[in-house]
Amino acid sequence: MQIETNKSLRQFNTFGLDHQAAFFTEVADEKELMEALQAARKAEVPAFILGGGSNILLTRDLPYFVIKINIKGINIVREDSRHVWVKVGAGEIWHEFVGHAIRHGWGGVENLSLIPGTVGASPMQNIGAYGVEIKDVFDHLEAVVREDGNLVTFSGEDCGFGYRDSIFKQKSKDKYVITRVVFRLDKFPVLNTTYGDVEFTMHELGFPEPSIEAVSEAIIHIRSKKLPDPTVLGNAGSFFKNPVISPEKFHQLKAIYPQLPGFDTPEGIKVPAAWLIEQSGWKGKRWGTIGVHAQQPLVLVNYGGGKGEDLLLLSKTIAKDVFEKFGVKLQTEVNLV
């Protein structure tokens, strides 16, 4: 195991922010992970687990022992006539796993095409897009307990999945390192094409009939149009969560803003943060090297040379304006570090 010091994390976060880690190492399996955790304990430096770096905002140099998870492997662990259970290493790139599933004809993750990040990070915030969330295909996961190095498993119920949420962001934050995730995929895929423009885009792209490939291509097309490619323009996807408000609050706002969109959920009415931000005048606004994306105002971008602390200030200023105008609190979706 190679340990580096004062390592630039620029290549390891999709905002492309140039902050340093006090210590840095990469681990390829559970044994190396345990060694790295031990090394961090010995150095008396808190361990910080890094996946694809696509959902973090670095606001400073990190006085941490950064452990980049590179655990690979996509293997069938169980199979019956209808389903296949696939165990995937936490370090696999999410979109590459989606491609693997599609090539093998396994349905369930095609709507989650092109989501940046790694497989290990996917359960942390129950990634979701176009009507599907990871909890819909999740079977269980394996994790290492940070404190004692023991290997444990979590069922879907144990994970406490919610909208962009799980116990790994709440009561179990920083307690475990997710090492492998097992998904249950369908040999006879049931397509979910009801969200937004998915159906229309499949026709537009000329697919003769719906299939998991067609859904995936349509979603890649939609996402590429709206969401900036982090390899070209630094960003971390949606910066804020879509707020969920009470029906009373929604009706109050609707009386003043008849155009306000709202989607019923079991927790309340979900309103698009993108709409609130756009109405507050922030869509496409630029502050020098950083700004609010012109096609999707939920996404903050680093045009190059931007600073994490400025992005944080920008996000706070947007949230303040939205709160003053609508009385709705925006919560960040990315993890502030």
Binders of ligand EPU among 115-144, rule CB under 6 A? 129-130
What residue number has its CB nearest to ligand EPU?
237
Q: Is 74 exposed, middle or buried (0-12, 13-18, 19+ CB in 10 A)?
A: middle
Binding mask 6-25 for ligand EPU (x = CB under 6 A): --------------------
Under rule CB under 6 A, residue 333 binds ligand EPU: yes
What's the CA angle centered on 63, arms 42 and 144, to 5 degrees?
A: 55
Query: 308 vs 92, 148, 295, 302, CA distance in Å?
Result: 26, 33, 22, 9
Under rule CB under 6 A, residue 242 binds ligand EPU: yes
- DSSP states along 103-124: HTT-BSSGGGTT--SBGGGTTT
Catalytic residue among 122, 216, 238, 315: 238
DSSP, res 239: S
Under rule CB under 6 A, residue 201 binds ligand EPU: no
Please confirm, yes or no, whether 333 is among the known catalytic residues.
Answer: yes
Q: Are strands 20-27 and 62-69 parallel, antiparallel or unpaired?
A: parallel
Give the number of other Cβ atoms within 10 Å of residue 148's Cβ. 8
Q: Tell which one of 238, 280, 302, 315 touches ligand EPU (CB under 6 A).
A: 238
Please confirm, yes or no, whether 60 is among the known catalytic residues.
Answer: no
Q: Tell which one of 241, 250, 262, 306 touches ligand EPU (CB under 6 A).
A: 241
Please check whether residue 69 is in contact with residue 117, taking contact to mean a CB–CB distance below 8 angstroms: no
**Which range binds ligand EPU by CB under 6 A, 31-39, 44-52, 94-102, 292-300?**
292-300
Under rule CB under 6 A, residue 296 binds ligand EPU: yes
Binders of ligand EPU among 26-55, rule CB under 6 A? none
Please confirm, yes or no, whether 238 is among the known catalytic residues.
Answer: yes
Is residue 285 helix, strand or coil? coil
Under rule CB under 6 A, residue 298 binds ligand EPU: yes
Give the CA dihedral 263, 269, 273, 279, nearest 10 degrees: 90
**Which range binds ligand EPU by CB under 6 A, 182-190, 250-258, 291-299, 323-331?**
291-299
Under rule CB under 6 A, residue 179 binds ligand EPU: no
Start-end of H helices in the chain: 30-43, 94-103, 156-159, 198-204, 212-226, 247-256, 273-279, 308-326
Q: Is 324 exposed, middle or buried (0-12, 13-18, 19+ CB in 10 A)?
A: exposed
Q: Tell which one of 63, 247, 261, 284 touches ligand EPU (CB under 6 A).
A: 261
Catalytic residue among 164, 180, 184, 223: 164
The residues that are catalytic are: 164, 238, 333
Binding site for ligand EPU (CB under 6 A): 129-130, 196, 226-227, 237-238, 241-242, 261, 272, 274-275, 278, 283, 296-298, 333
